[in-house]
Amino acid sequence: MPDTPHRILIADDNVANRELLEAYLVDVECEIETSVDGQDTLDKVASFQPDLVLLDVMMPKLSGFEVCKQIKEKPETSRVMVLMVTALNELGDIERAVSAGTDDFLSKPVQKVQLLKRVENMLKLKGVTDELQRLQQYIQAMEDAQRAS
pLDDT tens per residue, range 6-35: 999 999 999 999 999 999 999 899 999 999
pTM of the model: 0.88
pLDDT at 1: 43
Distance CA 71, CA 73 (A): 6
Sheet of strand 52-56: strand arrangement: 30-35, 6-11, 52-56, 81-86, 104-107
pLDDT above 50: residue 2: no
Tell me: the pLDDT tens digits for 72-108? 999 999 999 999 988 876 677 888 888 999 999 888 8
Overall fold of domain 6-148 = Rossmann fold (3.40.50)
